Amino acid sequence: MSTIAERMAAAGAGAAIELRGVTRLFGALAALTDITLSVRPGERRAVLGSNGAGKTTLLNCVTGDFPPTSGTVRFFGEDVTILPPHERIRRGLRRTYQISLLFQRLTVRENVYLACRGVSRGRFSFLRTRAGEAIMQSVADLIALVHLENVADRLVGELAHGQQRQLEIALALAGAPRFILFDEPAAGLSPTERGDLVAILTALPSHIGYIIIEHDMDVALRVVESVTMMHNGRIFKEGAPAEIETDPEVQRLYLGGGHG
């Protein structure tokens, strides 16, 4: 028994994200069944699968939005299975949401500011931030990165859908991320904005790894080095993008299936 435990620990030691036997139930429905997954630091991985395959639930288990029903989640070797989400974020994890979760009654700048402040000190500070402070420069840089400068001082509730998706991405890049989870970031973006997204992803420093859930294969396979295929809450195939594209089972279940 101890040798197995040791080998498991050794295998997990080098991973950025390490899931072991993760199962997540919603009532009687198993959204995830016995998922074991390991992603290296700096690795860029796509998770593909039809609607309801469990992709978003997988991310929710990694961030702690919905903890797993059973199994363990490790982040850079540390067992974070029962850690609240904010503790994982402070350790360098980031995520975007498939359906934008933004602060509608605050401005774009305030949204980005909150994201930057959330991963720095002074979250409870009663003192206002001065215009010259470094954090305001980081905020401006992130806004520029997603091309939202000209709406920076508009309320988020007034933004177009595509702009909200851009902001969604900016919030996940605040501070010094070590690993980012993107949940269908290209959904709702125009072709130009998709190009911008690919540019942002490829320009990320190489030590920052990510998992991206993406239906648009043009986006997904251009920005990753490995692919995990999911179906009915299980992983059924892992490999390089080229292998996945030509795999007959993948063709049948996913690529040829006329998915939404």
Partner 1 sequence: MALTETSTPSIAAPRGGALSRWVSRHAAILLLGLILVLLPAVANEFLLDQIVGWSLALGMIALSLMFLAGYGGMVSLAQMTIAGVAGYMVAVLGASSLPTISLFWPWWVATPLAIAIAVVFGTLSGALSARTEGIYTIMITLAIAAAFFYLTLQNWPIFNGFNGFTTIPAPHFWGVNWRAPVPLYYLILFFAASSYGAVVYISRAPFGLALQGVRDNPRRMEAIGYNVAAHRVAAHAFAALIAAIGGVLLVWLNNQISPFSISFERVIDVLVIAVVGGLGHPIGAFVGAIIYVILRTFALDALLAVGLDGRRFQTIIGLGFLLIVLFSPDGVIGLWRRWSARLRANGGSRRL
Interface with ligand ADP (CB under 6 A): 26, 29, 31, 49, 51-57
Residue 51: name its binding partner from ligand ADP, partner 1, Mg ion, none (Cβ under 5 to 8 Å by kind).
ligand ADP
Its sign, for the CA torsion 94, 193, 189, 242, is negative
Give me the residue label for tokens 């602060």: 103
> 3-class SS at 208?
coil
Residues that bind partner 1 (CB under 8 A): 63-65, 84-86, 89-90, 95, 97, 101-107, 109-110, 113-115, 117-119, 122-133, 136, 152-155, 158, 171, 174-175
Minimum separation from the CB atom of position 58 to ligand ADP (A) = 7
Cβ nearer to partner 1, comparing 8 with 114: 114
Cβ atoms < 10 Å from Cβ of 108: 29
Residue 49: name its binding partner from Mg ion, ligand ADP, partner 1, none (Cβ under 5 to 8 Å by kind).
ligand ADP
Q: Cα 145 from chain centroid?
A: 18
Minimum separation from the CB atom of position 216 to ligand ADP (A) = 15
Cβ nearer to ligand ADP, comparing 159 with 253: 253
The order of strands in the sheet holding 78-79 is 29-39, 17-26, 70-75, 78-79
99, 101, 107, 108: CA torsion to nearest 10: -60
Minimum separation from the CB atom of position 54 to ligand ADP (A) = 4
Cβ nearer to partner 1, comparing 165 with 231: 165
Q: Return d(Cα 114, Cα 136) in angstroms, integer.
A: 11
Q: Return d(Cα 206, Cα 221) in angstroms, integer.
A: 17
Residue 151 DSSP code: G
Which residues face 183 on adjacent strands? 213
Q: Return d(Cα 4, Cα 10) in angstroms, integer.
A: 10
- What's the half-sphere exposure (Cβ side, CA atoms, 13 Å) at 119? 22
Cβ nearer to partner 1, comparing 16 with 115: 115
* Binding track over 59-98 against Mg ion, x by CB under 5 A: ---------------------------------------x
Minimum separation from the CB atom of position 76 to partner 1 (A) = 16
Residue 195: name its binding partner from partner 1, ligand ADP, Mg ion, none (Cβ under 5 to 8 Å by kind).
none
Minimum separation from the CB atom of position 56 to Mg ion (A) = 3
Minimum separation from the CB atom of position 137 to Mg ion (A) = 34
Task: List residues binding Mg ion (CB under 5 A).
Answer: 56, 98
